[in-house]
Structure formats: structure tokens, C-alpha cells
Amino acid sequence: MKNSILSLLLIIVLTSPILAQQELPKSEKPAMIATCFACHNPKAPSHDEILAPPFAAVKFRYQMMYKTKEEFAQAVYDYVTNPTEEKALMFGAVRRFGVMPALPLPEEQIKSIAYYIYDNDVEAPEWFAEHFEEQHGKGGNRGFNH
């Protein structure tokens, strides 16, 4: 029985697009990002119906603190693999959603997603620009796409 469970887990891991993902050119969206959207959903109909901050908010906050692509990606990796309240940059999100669960994914996969977010305009929910302005003041939508 134990071997059957281990075999099943191995099959799932080996066939998973998460582990098949390699670093991609910036124009290609990593397959794993769709899994991330389960919580960071850019199609969430309202702020009350999202489980984690949208990537537009994550990108904005991380780019405030980390200016280079490598620093940005390393900080995302460090948080995603071992999230703590002390490491959090998004204090309101932690108060609202709590600290995200650690994701035991390979470094290159997490960084591939971070590189994509850093290099590309990421979709924001339609309500996000208004929410951002309410929380952070006037100044437009900061380039958020929806």
C-alpha cells in the first residue's frame, strides 16, 4: 500500500506541468501561473471574492523594494518557499488573508514566474485600480491592466 501511494505521488510529480516548467522567454506565460491564479485571481469579481492579492499588487509592492529583476525574483522565491509575517511586504494582505502557505517548488519554477511578473504587465481585476486608490491615494491605476 505504501509503495502504491509513493508510486502514485511520483507519477503525479513527473507528469505535473509545475515540474516540467523551465525558464521561459518573457513573452510566454509560465504554465504554473494558472495554478497561482487559484488564489491571485485577476478575474475575481470583487475584493471580497479574492483569496490573495492580485499579481498587480504583488508586482507593485515588490518593485518598490527590489529594483533589479534578480533581487525581485530572489525575494519572491524567499517568501514563497518560506513565507512569514516578518518577511511580508504586503501588511494589509497579511491582515486580510493571512500568510500564504509555503510552496515546495523548485527554485527555477518560482523564479520563472517571478521573472514573468517582473517583465510583463500583469492583469489586474477590474476593481483593483479603484481599490488601490482607496488604499494608497490618487495617482491613477499605476499601469495595472484589466
- We report the CATH number of the domain holding residue 110 as 1.10.760
- Total tally of structural domains belonging to the chain: 1
**For the CA atoms of the chain, what is the radius of gyration?**
16
Model confidence band, residue 9 (pLDDT cutoffs 50, 70, 90): very low
Q: Lowest mean pLDDT of 28-32, 35-39, 97-101, name the range.
A: 28-32
**Residues 22-39, mean pLDDT to the nearest whole number:** 72
> Is 7 or 116 the better-scoring residue by pLDDT?
116
Residue 98 lies in a domain: yes
Residue 58's domain comprises 23-136
Q: Report residue 13's pLDDT band, with 50, 70 and 90 as the boundaries.
A: very low
The three-state secondary structure class of 83 is coil
Q: Is the dihedral of CA 128, 76, 64, 88 positive or negative?
A: positive
The set of long-range contacts for 18-26, using a CB threshold of 8 Å and a minimum separation of 24, is 18/105, 18/109, 19/106, 19/109, 21/108, 21/109, 21/112, 22/108, 22/112, 23/108, 23/111, 23/112, 23/115, 24/112, 24/116, 26/115, 26/116, 26/119, 26/120
What is the pTM for the complete model shown? 0.73
Q: Which residue has the higher pLDDT, 56 or 20?
A: 56
- Provide the pLDDT for residue 136: 76
**13 in a domain, yes or no?**
no
In a domain, 104, yes or no: yes
Q: Quick one: pLDDT at residue 34?
A: 83
Q: Has residue 141 been placed in a domain? A: no
The pLDDT of residue 83 is: 97
27 part of a folded domain: yes
The pLDDT of residue 139 is: 55
- For residue 15, being part of any structural domain is answered with no
Q: How confident is the model at residue 138 (pLDDT cuts 50, 70, 90)?
A: low
